[in-house]
Amino acid sequence: MPLNIVHDKDGLPRIILTEPTGSSAESFWKPPKAIRGGIPVCFPQFGNLGLLEQHGFARNRFWSLDEDASPLPPANNQSTVDLILKSTEEDIKAWPRGFELRLRISISPGKLTLIPRVRNVDNKAFSFMFALRNYLSVSDISEVRVEGLETLDYFDYLMNKERFTEQADAITFDGEIDRVYLSTPTKIAIIDHEKKRTFELRKDGMPDSVVWNPWDKKAKALPDMGVDGYKTMLCVDSAAIENPIVLKPFEEWRGRQELSTVSSSYCSGQLDPRRVLHGFH
């Protein structure tokens, strides 16, 4: 089946993925700035940890359809798309490395799967950071808790990247937060009490997790956030930040992220979050 590609009034293309039970996903771009929402791809830099623009250049570039996603099996349905970003002359001026960045996006009932890959097509080794910045829609940030990151070390970006150890049983929110948690588990639960819904984040190849909410003062300074936008969003990212990924010539790195939802009544004690974290049996 051909991909469902539509064009906005300004001529920019959008890809719309659908699956039989009604889930959908779409990819679009509004130059010249990255979109505040969705799942921006941070490459080859996270945040301001380097000399490039914030979060690197990948999220601000036009990607192409990838006609050859091997060794992944071919995608021949309307619920999967393969995209590719190759280094351009402009990129090489800022970051002189030859690379191919691929991303497979697939939707299935209640699940969104992303498989990023980076190939070194240069004649020398290079290293890079990577993150999938997951903007999650929540009912009320003060009613959300994140489980799976307790007892872990993190860098606190509100405290000059000082390293701390998480002491709470779960992360809850009553103010701004901007942290990079280190050596995190492959499964994290984001529990939304009011919506009675739990996001289950599964990841591989991206050992770090970023938790971010700008809260009221910084949200006012973000023109694309809205004054109260911080109340209904939370970023929980899959990332490789503390230890950048190193690739020798013609080596390839592969990551994987699955984001799914389970309807829950956790606020009434009927859902044990440990079952979300460690799987249902």
Binding-site residues sit at 36, 54, 59
Known binding-site residues for substrate equal 36, 54, 59
Backbone angles phi, psi at 178, to 5 degrees: -155, 90
Residue 157 CB-density burial (10 A; 0-12 exposed, 13-18 middle, 19+ buried) = middle
Q: How far is CA 228 from CA 4, 131, 140, 188, 221, in A?
A: 34, 26, 11, 26, 12
DSSP state letter for 74 = P
CB 235 within 8 Å of CB 213 = yes
Alpha-carbon span 117 to 243, nearest angstrom = 17
Phi-psi region of 176 (alpha: psi -120 to 50; beta: other; left: phi over 0): beta
